[in-house]
Amino acid sequence: MSEDEACPAAAPPSPASAVRGSTGGSRWFEAVAEHLGAAYLRYSFTYGTEQEVDFLVEALGLEPGSRVLDVGCGPGRHARAFAGRGFEVLGLDISARFLAVARAAGGAAYVRADAACLPVRPASVDVVVSLCQGGFGLMAGPTPAPGTSPLGADLDGAVLEQMAAVLRPGGLMAVTAFSSYFQVRFLEAVDEFDADRGVNHERTEVRSEAGETAEAELWTSCFTPRELRLLARAAGVEVVGLWSVTPGGYARRPADLEHPELLLVARRPRGRTGVAPAAGARRVGC
């Protein structure tokens, strides 16, 4: 899949000016990505990329030449792995820094875009993935102001609907999300879990390629299996599988309390001419 297959999109917001607590005018994670750059690939959770892609190729029944869209591709590790197996791959990410790393490594086409407003033609791809909280699961952000909806600007459901809309009838999506069960059971002492919103707030340090450290705040949506099934239904896709997984350890494992992520595989029904884009995505992201 070439960059020409992507529809033109409005320029995403510029990166925030600081890592710690940056949210105004951009997605909160842009500043974190800007600081990390290629150093993201040093984290141990990235080491299992090949196993994850091997599992997905088999689980999704991918055929040579299949068109794969990677939403929230980051530095492109999954996109490159899919491309290396003979698939036509387009990676999308809002971070210009991550995309520069991805393009330097080659192997796939890349476009800068917000996951809440995918600049891809409807019903044009065979498979769409969003893995390791690259797009889905990052939309919650800080706690909303008092008196506003607990969901705030939570667009995770909108991201799922956007992904469904670009799938051809019969096409498949694979999405990972943090498990609420695991997060609460093994909550780090320095983390704060908002039980009302299902969002984990983590304060940590991130280290750049040059070895410079910066404090960062991370907000990650967490889900139960039931919530993911309901979101899939709202997006107009049918759940094929929902398993508990760990980075580098994807398997058809029933949902449990012991593994940090849930892997959702869902299919866009055949015969449907379209899936309506999320109203929230059109209003906020598009």
Structural domain boundaries of the chain?
30-285
In CATH terms, is domain 30-285 a member of 3.40.50.150?
yes
CB 128 within 8 A of CB 83: no
Cβ atoms within 10 Å of 189's Cβ, excluding its own: 4
pLDDT at 21 over 90: no
* Predicted pLDDT at 54: 98
Share of the chain above pLDDT 70, in %: 81
User: What integer is the mean pLDDT of 171-197?
Assistant: 95
Q: How many CA atoms lie within 13 A of 20 on its CB side?
A: 6
pLDDT higher at 22 or 264: 264
Give the torsion through C-alpha atoms of 92, 16, 193, 196, to 10 deg: -80
pLDDT at 4 over 70: no
* Predicted pLDDT at 241: 98
* Predicted pLDDT at 148: 56
Q: Could you tell me which of 127, 134, 166 has the C-alpha nearest to residue 7?
A: 166
* Predicted pLDDT at 150: 57
Least confident stretch, 28-42, 197-211, 217-231, 265-279: 265-279
Q: Kindly report, residue by residue over 123-166, the tens digit of the pLDDT.
A: 999 999 999 988 898 887 776 656 555 555 568 999 999 999 99
> 253 by DSSP, 3-state: which?
coil
Burial of 3 (0-12, 13-18, 19+ CB in 10 A): exposed
**How far is the C-alpha of 23 from the C-alpha of 166, rounded, in Å?**
28
H or E element at residue 163: helix 156-166
pTM of the model as a whole: 0.84
* Predicted pLDDT at 38: 79
Share of the chain above pLDDT 90, in %: 63
Q: Could you tell me which of 9, 14, 128 has the C-alpha nearest to residue 67?
A: 128
Least confident stretch, 25-39, 123-137, 164-178: 25-39
Q: Kindly report, residue by residue over 91-129, the tens digit of the pLDDT.
A: 999 999 999 999 999 999 999 999 989 999 999 999 999
* Predicted pLDDT at 26: 64
User: What integer is the mean pLDDT of 165-190?
Assistant: 97
Greatest mean pLDDT among 21-25, 28-32, 44-48, 226-230: 226-230
